């Protein structure tokens, strides 16, 4: 039996778009290529998109049906399943586990959480800060356990400590920005 692969972050992003509404493959392709957090880093060909959609459908995370075309060819419309919805929510609400994933995956989670409920972003930020603090502690321990002769290793760990601190500072700034948005929304109700 082949090993089941875990979805990639791009697949979760596809689920996020399908969470909004059922959509045809080509329209989904246009949305993804216009979504800056994805299009600036990942280049996806239509054929790759359809392969990912097929994989998500095989895993039961999405389903599809054919919509007959009167003046054009039949089109396949995709929608998220209840399993896909639960999988997407679990992903969206969990912190990323590698600093390299902050720029795309975490920002995608923030994007989709903002569409649903901005207060979820605060919880996500708090969880991510906790995860970042764990990284930082690990890097500090690694740095303390290197000798003065291990110059390159010390430079790398020092970089990681500073990078993580920058991420923590940014998370706090983002938390304040989301707090302003929530307060503004609450006052306008």
Write the pLDDT tens digit of every residue in 81-90: 999 999 999 9
Helix/strand/coil for 150: coil
Q: How would you label 31-48 residue by residue, b for 16+ Cβ within 10 Å and e otherwise?
A: ebeebebbeeebebeeee
Write the pLDDT tens digit of every residue in 143-171: 999 999 999 999 999 999 999 999 999 99
- Look up residue 33 and give its two tokens: 């290529």
**How many residues comprise the chain?**
189
Same domain for 113 and 82, yes or no, is: no
Give this prediction's pTM.
0.85
Q: Which domain holds residue 143?
A: 100-188
Burial of 62 (0-12, 13-18, 19+ CB in 10 A): buried
135 found inside a domain? yes
Report which of 103, 79, 81 is spatially closest to residue 163, judged by C-alpha positions: 103
**CATH at residue 71:** 1.10.10.10
**Per-residue pLDDT, 133:** 98
Same domain for 50 and 107, yes or no, is: no
- Cβ 93 vs Cβ 122: under 8 Å: no
Same domain for 37 and 72, yes or no, is: yes
**Per-residue pLDDT, 118:** 92
1 found inside a domain? no
165 found inside a domain? yes
Tokens 């800056």: give the residue: 36
- Look up residue 54 and give its two tokens: 């097929």
Same domain for 87 and 112, yes or no, is: no
Same domain for 115 and 164, yes or no, is: yes
Same domain for 184 and 104, yes or no, is: yes
Number of structural domains (the chain) is: 2
Write the pLDDT tens digit of every residue in 89-136: 999 999 999 999 998 899 989 999 999 999 999 999 999 999 999 999
Domain boundary among 61, 92, 123: 92
- Look up residue 121 and give its two tokens: 């972003």
Question: What is the rounded distance in angstroms from the CA atom of residue 113 to the CA atom of residue 121?
Answer: 6
Same domain for 85 and 162, yes or no, is: no
4 found inside a domain? no
Task: Answer yes or no: is pLDDT of 77 > 80.
Answer: yes
2 found inside a domain? no
41 band by pLDDT with thresholds 50, 70 and 90:
low
Domain boundary among 92, 116, 148: 92
Same domain for 77 and 105, yes or no, is: no
Question: Which residues lie closer than 8 Å to 12 by C-beta, 6 or more apart?
Answer: 87, 88, 91, 92, 105, 108
- Look up residue 47 and give its two tokens: 């054929």
Domain boundary among 68, 92, 116: 92
């Amino acid at each position: 039996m082949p090993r089941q692969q875990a979805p990639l972050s791009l697949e979760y992003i596809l689920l996020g778009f399908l969470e909004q509404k059922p959509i045809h493959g080509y329209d989904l392709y246009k949305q993804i290529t216009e979504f800056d957090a994805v299009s600036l880093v990942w280049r996806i060909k239509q054929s790759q998109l359809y392969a990912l959609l097929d994989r998500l459908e095989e895993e039961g995370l999405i389903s599809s049906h054919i919509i007959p075309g009167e003046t054009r060819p039949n089109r396949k419309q995709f929608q998220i399943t209840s399993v896909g919805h639960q999988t997407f929510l679990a992903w969206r609400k969990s912190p990323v586990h590698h600093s390299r994933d902050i720029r795309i995956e975490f920002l995608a989670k923030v994007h989709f959480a903002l569409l649903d409920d901005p207060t979820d972003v605060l919880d996500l930020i708090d969880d991510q800060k906790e995860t970042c603090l764990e990284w930082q502690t690990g890097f500090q321990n690694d740095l303390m356990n290197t000798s003065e002769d291990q110059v390159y290793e010390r430079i790398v760990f020092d970089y990681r400590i500073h990078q993580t601190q920058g991420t923590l500072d940014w998370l706090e700034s983002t938390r304040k920005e989301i707090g302003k948005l929530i307060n503004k929304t609450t006052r306008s109700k």
